[in-house]
Homo-oligomer: A and B are copies of this chain.
Amino acid sequence: MTRPDYMALALAAAERAAAAGEVPIGAVLVDGATGDVLATAHNRTETDADPTAHAELLAIRAAAAARGEPRLVDCDLYVTLEPCPMCAQAISFARIRRVYYGAADPKGGGVAHGPRIFEQKTCHHRPEVYPGIGEERAGALLRAFFAARR
């Protein structure tokens, strides 16, 4: 699969989140060596009553469990929205190689906004970051979700 296809899987996960009444954000974790999808997840904070159940954190936890190790060396994350500071720090802890994300998040993002986690001196692993992949559809999903709730 090529990169846009992985993001299409993440966008499909985001659509499932919206259908479940969750903020529509999806994530896919890929083994960079084999191209295998290790985990796909969407936001489940309300469903699971878990404030940490963001798409990225769930994907990281599932992929690490599947591999049986807490570090996801040579793995790449595709996520429809810029990760928040919590997820960005988890990405660093997991030693993820590359992060591809869709829409920017000036209000809640932690990569290109807010604390810019990967630019901190105390951040010991910095992934390569590729923003703006599939951002149009990711942003449209989020706008439609919040417009319907107002």
Contact = CB atoms under 8 A, between A and B. Distances in A.
A53 B70 CA distance: 9
B94 A90 contact: no
Chain A contact surface mostly: loop
Stoichiometry (number of copies): 2
Interface in A67-124: 67-72, 84-90, 93-95, 107-110, 113-117, 120-123
Q: Which among A71, A108, A115 has the highest number of chain B CB atoms within 10 Å?
A: A115
B68 A57 contact: no
A113 B122 contact: yes
Contacts of A114: 120-123
A46 interface: yes
A64 interface: yes
A61 interface: yes
Nearest to A108: B122
A39 interface: no
Contacts of A50: 61, 64-65, 70
Given A89-B110, A120-B114, A94 B61 contact: no
Given A49-B68, A51-B94, A52-B61, 8 more contacts: A49-B67, A50-B61, A85-B89, A86-B93, A89-B89, A110-B122, A115-B115, A115-B117
